[in-house]
Amino acid sequence: METNWEMTEEIILDIKDLTVDYVTHGLFRRIRKRVRVFENFNLQIHRGETLSVVGESGCGKTTLANSVARFKQPTAGQVYFEGRDILAMDRYFED
């Protein structure tokens, strides 16, 4: 059977030690509660690979996607897309 794709050694998405907290604020912006969603998450996706994220409701799947897409700012870690640190980029960059 022939396929039209080929997985390579090239890493297109590299997530290193990603940590995300949700923080609720009380009176005068004091931190009331901090909830750690996930800590030190690591993932590499190579060109040609397909990934599916599965898990129970509330386990952090959407938070992971939102952090990689920069809708939610991670607490710590790095996210590289095709070698570029996307968390260090201006949110409204043009290439």
pLDDT tens, residue order, the chain (95 aa): 444 556 678 999 999 999 999 988 777 777 678 899 999 999 999 999 999 999 999 999 999 999 999 999 999 999 999 999 999 887 655 54
Give residue 1's pLDDT: 46
Structure tokens, 67:
């952090």
Give residue 6's pLDDT: 63
Q: Which helix (H) or strand (E) holds 63?
A: helix 61-68
Secondary structure of residue 32 in the 3-state scheme: strand
Q: What is the pTM of this model?
A: 0.78
Give residue 21's pLDDT: 94
